[in-house]
């Protein structure tokens, strides 16, 4: 099962995604491994605080999380750790995208050369449907605001929108979280 959880900044999407993981694990009689794939990198003090807050939330959740930090090679990581009786939470796809865009040289952006990101995205999209694990993916919905002024910011918004659309197409379930309230955009087929 693939569940995509979308939402804006501070919408409650990560908390909702963690609850979805708990809902998968709790009713099952067998043991399930619970993996948290963190794509964030701590580039400044504010991001360190955000990462610490997410870590503390997981500690208090009463689930036994195994954390893997994967800022760039998400598809490879998923392929390496995939197995049955496992739930994987990826938080988040837009940080994963940011990491890729920031790894490009400025002239690659100016020339529209995003081939390394496109290859990584293609690999992720081909990996997701093959996974045995339950997977919950968190991503920011960034297309509801104003069009950014900078080239890199506009490229990010475009690429995030296309990534979210592609993952939503593959997903069994898609939820949008606004003000802490989830809205079902796509429900699993019975």
Catalytic residues: 54
Residue 170, burial from CB neighbour count under 10 angstroms (0-12, 13-18, 19+): middle
Distance (Å) of CA 75 to CA 80, 88, 120:
9, 13, 7
Spacing of C-alpha 136 from chain mean position: 8
Write down the residue that tokens 């995208």 correspond to.
97
* CA dist., res. 32 & res. 111, Å (int): 46
């Amino acid at each position: 099962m693939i569940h995509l959880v979308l939402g804006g900044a501070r919408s409650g999407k990560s908390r909702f995604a963690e609850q979805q993981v708990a809902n998968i694990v709790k009713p099952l009689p067998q043991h399930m491994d619970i993996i948290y794939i963190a794509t964030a990198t701590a580039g400044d003090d504010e991001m360190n605080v955000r990462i610490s807050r997410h870590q503390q939330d997981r500690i208090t959740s009463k689930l036994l999380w195994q954390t893997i930090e994967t800022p760039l090679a998400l598809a490879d990581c998923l392929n390496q750790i995939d197995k049955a009786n496992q739930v994987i939470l990826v938080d988040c796809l837009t940080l994963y995208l940011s990491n890729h865009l920031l790894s490009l040289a400025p002239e690659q952006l100016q020339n529209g050369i995003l081939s390394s990101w496109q290859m990584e995205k293609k690999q992720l999209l081909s990996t997701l449907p093959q996974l045995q694990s339950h997977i919950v993916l968190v991503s920011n919905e960034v297309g509801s605001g104003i069009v950014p002024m900078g080239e890199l910011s506009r490229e990010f918004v475009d690429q995030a929108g296309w990534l979210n659309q592609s993952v939503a197409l593959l997903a069994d379930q898609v939820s949008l979280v606004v003000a802490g309230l989830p809205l079902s955009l796509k429900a699993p087929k019975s």
